[in-house]
Structure 1
């Protein structure tokens, strides 16, 4: 958000002024990412993950465009074309591994980014639309990743596509029509591969467009911060550049180091070995699983095993999609006036329980569909929905938060993050003045 005290953009040359009067791109960049954009001075390294997600998206688009030049979306030669990329194209192995591992790292970054939003209440007013656009990006990511997983045309690609697309057949009346439309026929075949390749190439650019909308929406209220207290004056903020460009640069360096370790030393660690076997419709793998980043939702899907009014498969499909759609309603489910869990001791404990629950769902989603994993998945799925629909509304309405600081400056400069005005009390703005 550009506050009244933000440094205005001033071209330093005649050419710069001429260009700025006709196409003010430098001014837009300055106001969005430079010294003209003020951010809370207390945001921590969890705020790096938004930038890291953008970098991960750029890596995926750049490597994907080059890979598409050599990939053949035909079931007869798709598997061989991937092997051709790996063995015959200059640095093809590097591009393929960057793209495959980049997808996993993209989800790691986004999951941490989502958790930060949950922990610090970034879904609350006035940032509800920023949160919702982020969830739209997440849904588009899942669709893109699923279709991309099919393209290598290995065993897990083929059977994963078969299992997931057939889930839509559980929808009454229109289910079979939807499946036929998705597959382009009555089974996963050449038409399916062509459709998935086309959409997998297109959707990242749609994601990039929604990212632009999200950044635009974010710049209206400005960034949230660990205290959840809104900016009240110049003492609460610093320019994004150079303070947080340097901080983001450090975080990016760490990210690229870890990414490179997987890229060069553990390139297949996050994948499935069965995908190095060419797809065979007559040979079903012993254990069909999606990529690891889908495991929590896959566990919820498999948790329904008994027909009750509706078929169990339909319940599973509804629950799987509801697990994400539910997050769109968080701004209204959470009734607390305090954003940050730092000042909500009761809700903080339940958030830790939720984190453990998500870890259990992830483990069960990657485990075989047998006992005790199915029963554990059922218990974990019940808690997941209970957390957002029961625990969060009740605790947020009844808990007594810790006192909030009067301002961000007070929390940073005086070390009084746990003292000040009572949570939810009206602010006089007296603490907005710079500390002496």
Structure 2
């Protein structure tokens, strides 16, 4: 979105003018993150999580590159090389824990970022491409995390690789060929470890590239905001710097404190103890479970226990697991309400929190053994998950009567402090409304 009132970058030094005429990188940064990028004045702390996700990725890339210098992608020594990093490499234990804990924190931040987008309608026009690029990043994250989990070559790594790649064997005609191609053989072995290590090293840089597109697509329509209203005048915005840079730095400080607490005091609390046992193809763990951030999808996968319409239950589970993510790509067209934010959609707001509870329930069920009552719980929650997108949301979009919207972002902000503005951002009586401090 072009803001006529946005400040333009003006280099003041000869070096700055020289660079601006040949490689205008400072102008790009100023326009994307500085005073040259006006943002809605009412963004709350939930809008910090996009920046936190970028910081989490940088931590993963830096620690991953250093860990890769000491890791050996060979089944005979992979587990021992991880122990070597932990015990013999200077600071290796910290790097390894930062990388392992960082993966969990990366997913936690992204999940909050996604649910914030769902609550405030950030997937609605004109931000459909922005939303879909975010989902592409999420899919790449899942692939990267899965392959990284295999590299440890512990019990859960080996059997997790066997189970997840085995899902592709459910596909008719080509399934077994795809599974063999993924593994480089008929079971997880040295070829599997080598190709997973290569892809795990490569994909974070692909994610970084898609993030650049994600941020670029954000700056075309501009940032969404808690009201869901479009920016109408200069009174609705404040410069990104220093207003939101200071807010982001505060959020980053809180994030790093919590992150450090896990790294230094409870680094193994988010992992599986069985993965500290070397991989043994002859000993199957009693309970094969992925990392916690995959549990909701694992619950959906296991929810199908009976063949239906001549299609095996295993294939139904695979279809449902992938469909649970692919559905999100169609969300801008499933939710047809003209109002973006759930702040002004009372019925949909209640249903949103029901949906959040369902997702949490799926996560809990996915981390439990495949036995009753968890199987029936997974089935009921899976049914509601798909009904929410395919039935409930389209119906609510048509039938719900939204609350009255404010005339502008400024009016919504100032009403919290007992003030009000007209649609053009001015106060009754002609006084111009000033940006909220």
Q: Give the TM-score normalised by the residue count of structure 1.
A: 0.96
Structure 2 CA distance, aligned partners of 1:384 and 1:431?
A: 41
Structure 2 CA distance, aligned partners of 1:204 and 1:137?
A: 10
Instruction: Decide whether the 8 Å contact of 1:40 with 1:223 is kept in 2.
Output: yes
**Which residue does 2:340 correspond to in 1?**
339
What is the Cα deviation at residue 435 of structure 1? Answer: 1.6
Instruction: Decide whether the 8 Å contact of 1:184 with 1:192 is kept in 2.
Output: yes
Write the deviation string for residues 385-412 of structure 1: whole angstroms up to 9, x where unpaired: 0001100000111100000110001111
Secondary structure, counterpart of 1:403 in structure 2: coil
Structure 1 CA distance, aligned partners of 2:174 and 2:260?
A: 46
What is the Cα deviation at residue 430 of structure 1? Answer: 3.3
**Which residue does 2:350 correspond to in 1?**
349
What is the Cα deviation at residue 109 of structure 1? Answer: 0.1
Secondary structure, counterpart of 2:39 in structure 1: strand
Write the deviation string for residues 296-349 of structure 1: whole angstroms up to 9, x where unpaired: 000000000000120000000000000000000010000110000010000111
**Which residue does 1:430 correspond to in 2?**
424
Aligned length: 429
Structure 2 CA distance, aligned partners of 1:197 and 1:205?
A: 14
Structure 1 moving runs of 4+ over 2 Å: 414-417, 428-434
Q: How does 1:168-179 map to 2 (within 5 A)?
A: 168-179=168-179
Structure 2 CA distance, aligned partners of 1:376 and 1:218?
A: 38
Structure 2 CA distance, aligned partners of 1:416 and 1:399?
A: 29
Instruction: Decide whether the 8 Å contact of 2:235 with 2:425 is kept in 1.
Output: no
**Which residue does 1:361 correspond to in 2?**
362
Structure 2 CA distance, aligned partners of 1:21 and 1:431?
A: 37
Secondary structure, counterpart of 2:339 in structure 1: coil
**Which residue does 1:29 correspond to in 2?**
29
**Which residue does 1:3 correspond to in 2?**
3
Instruction: Decide whether the 8 Å contact of 2:154 with 2:277 is kept in 1.
Output: yes
**Which residue does 1:329 correspond to in 2?**
330
Q: How does 1:244-263 map to 2 (within 5 A)?
A: 244-263=244-263
Instruction: Decide whether the 8 Å contact of 2:304 with 2:316 is kept in 1.
Output: yes
Q: Which runs of 5+ in 2 are unaligned?
A: none
Instruction: Decide whether the 8 Å contact of 2:236 with 2:425 is kept in 1.
Output: no
Q: Which runs of 5+ in 1 are unaligned?
A: 421-427
Structure 2 CA distance, aligned partners of 1:140 and 1:14?
A: 43
Write the deviation string for residues 16-71 of structure 1: whole angstroms up to 9, x where unpaired: 11111111000000000111011000000000000000000000000000000000
Secondary structure, counterpart of 1:430 in structure 2: coil
Structure 2 CA distance, aligned partners of 1:90 and 1:151?
A: 21
Q: How does 1:3-402 map to 2 (within 5 A)?
A: 3-309=3-309, 310-402=311-403
**Which residue does 1:425 correspond to in 2?**
none
**Which residue does 1:404 correspond to in 2?**
405
What is the Cα deviation at residue 272 of structure 1? Answer: 0.4
Instruction: Decide whether the 8 Å contact of 1:405 with 1:416 is kept in 2.
Output: no
What is the Cα deviation at residue 431 of structure 1? Answer: 4.0
1:73–1:432 distance in 2 versus 1, CA, 3 Å: farther
Structure 2 CA distance, aligned partners of 1:152 and 1:266?
A: 19
Secondary structure, counterpart of 1:36 in structure 2: coil
What is the Cα deviation at residue 150 of structure 1? Answer: 0.1
Write the deviation string for residues 89-124 of structure 1: whole angstroms up to 9, x where unpaired: 000000000000000000000000000000000000
Structure 2 CA distance, aligned partners of 1:314 and 1:122?
A: 33
